[in-house]
């Protein structure tokens, strides 16, 4: 379970301060498939970054499975993210010099997983996202949709309980979006992985079982389907 308590992120405190996230308290149960929506500048990405420990909140706390991750710093938070949270970014953010297979494998390498297990898991993930045949291609040799599927596989590599996806379909066409959402839905249902998306995309919102709407950094609605 992820819980945020009075979470705030203020940029330029004092002069010209911008409250990107403003006193947000919320709970995400295990196995949720949730979209965080809202207009541009509503604080979706900042909220997700704070939840995932990428960004340090100005105030408030984030508890993941009971552990307050806002108290972690330096290498501890990096290690926490590595083991517990998978990220999927709008711009895919794959390492350009590594192949699809190596991008996925790198996460497990960072975790010190044995080569045999790494290869098995990578093959499994590549099959899950339907890219086994293209495993040796570099990101520049893959389409946007294929790159995002590699990014999802990479996020899953460490077998995280939570995947935070920041506008994962923003750069994808309809077919790629549908394909990606199918994959993520399947993982959510079959492997009980919690997905939290920030998105503008109605196709994603339609698939989500819970939709949280942010405006000016505050939750203005929280609907479960």
Partner 1 sequence: MILKIALRNIYRNKKRSLITISSIFAALLLIVLMRALQFGFYDKLIETVVESYAGYVEIHADGFWDNQSLDNSMVVDQNLMDDLKSVEGVDNIVQRLQTFSLISMGDKTKGGVINGINIKEEQKITDWNKKMVSGSFDLGEDEVIIGKGIAKYFDVVENDTLILYGQGYRGMMAAGKFPIKGIIDLKNPDLNKLGVFMNMETARNYVSSDEISTHIIIDKKQYYDEEKIANDLSQILSDDFEVMTWKQTLPEIEQTITADSAGGLIMAFILYVIVVFGMFGTVLMMTEERKYEFGVLISIGMSRVRLFGIILVETIILSMIGVVIAILITYPISYYYYLNPINMANLMGDGADMMMEEMGFSPIAPMSISWDIPLSHALVIFIFSLIISIYPAIKIMKLDPVKSMKA
Residue 149 binds to partner 1 (criterion: CB under 8 A): no
Strand order in the sheet with 18-28: 18-28, 2-11, 59-64, 67-68
> Among 43, 2, 59, which Cα is nearest to 26's?
2
Is the Cβ of residue 101 or residue 207 nearer to partner 1 in the bound state? 101
Q: List Cβ neighbours of 101 (8 Å cut-off, separation of 6 or more).
A: 122, 126, 135, 136
Residue 113 binds to partner 1 (criterion: CB under 8 A): no
> Considering only residues 44, 101, 149, 154, which one is a binding residue for partner 1 as defined by CB under 8 A?
154
Residue 171 binds to partner 1 (criterion: CB under 8 A): no
Residue 97 binds to partner 1 (criterion: CB under 8 A): yes
Residue 107 binds to partner 1 (criterion: CB under 8 A): yes
Q: How far is the CB of 46 from partner 1 (least distance, A)?
A: 8
Q: How distant is the alpha carbon of residue 50 from its chain centre?
A: 12
Q: How far is the CB of 145 from partner 1 (least distance, A)?
A: 19
Q: How far is the CB of 167 from partner 1 (least distance, A)?
A: 13
Return the beta strands (E) in 29-113 as ranges: 33-37, 59-64, 67-68, 85-88
Is the Cβ of residue 104 or residue 211 nearer to partner 1 in the bound state? 104
Q: What is the DSSP string of 160-198?
A: -SEEEEESTTTT--HHHHHHHHHHHHHHHHHH--EEEEE
Footprint on residues 41-70 left by partner 1 (CB under 8 A): 49, 54-55
How many chain residues touch partner 1 (CB under 8 A)?
24
Phi and psi angles of residue 170, each rounded to the nearest 5 degrees, phi first: -60, -30
Q: How far is the CB of 39 from partner 1 (least distance, A)?
A: 18
Asked whether 37 and 210 are in contact (CB, 8 A), the reply is no
Residues making contact with partner 1 (CB under 8 A): 49, 54-55, 75, 78-79, 81-83, 87, 89, 93, 95-98, 102, 106-107, 109-111, 154, 158
């Amino acid at each position: 379970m992820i819980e945020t308590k009075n979470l705030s992120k203020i940029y330029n405190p004092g002069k010209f301060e911008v409250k990107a996230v403003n006193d947000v308290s919320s709970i995400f149960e295990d196995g949720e498939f949730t979209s965080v929506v809202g207009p541009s500048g509503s604080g979706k990405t900042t909220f997700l970054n704070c939840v995932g420990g990428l960004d340090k909140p100005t105030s408030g706390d984030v508890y993941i499975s009971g552990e307050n991750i806002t108290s972690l710093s330096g290498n501890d938070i990096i290690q926490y993210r590595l083991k517990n949270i998978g990220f999927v970014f709008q711009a895919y953010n794959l390492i350009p010099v590594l192949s699809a297979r190596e991008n996925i494998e790198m996460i497990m390498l960072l975790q010190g997983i044995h080569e045999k297990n790494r290869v098995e898991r990578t093959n499994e993930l590549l099959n899950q996202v339907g890219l086994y045949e293209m495993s040796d291609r570099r990101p520049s040799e893959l389409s946007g949709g294929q790159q995002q599927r590699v990014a999802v596989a990479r996020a899953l590599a460490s077998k995280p309980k939570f995947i935070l996806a920041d506008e994962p379909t923003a750069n994808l066409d309809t077919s790629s979006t549908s394909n990606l959402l199918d994959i993520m839905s399947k993982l959510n249902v079959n492997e009980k992985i919690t997905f939290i998306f920030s998105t503008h995309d109605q196709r994603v919102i339609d698939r989500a079982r819970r939709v949280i709407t942010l405006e000016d950094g505050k939750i203005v609605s929280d609907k479960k389907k």
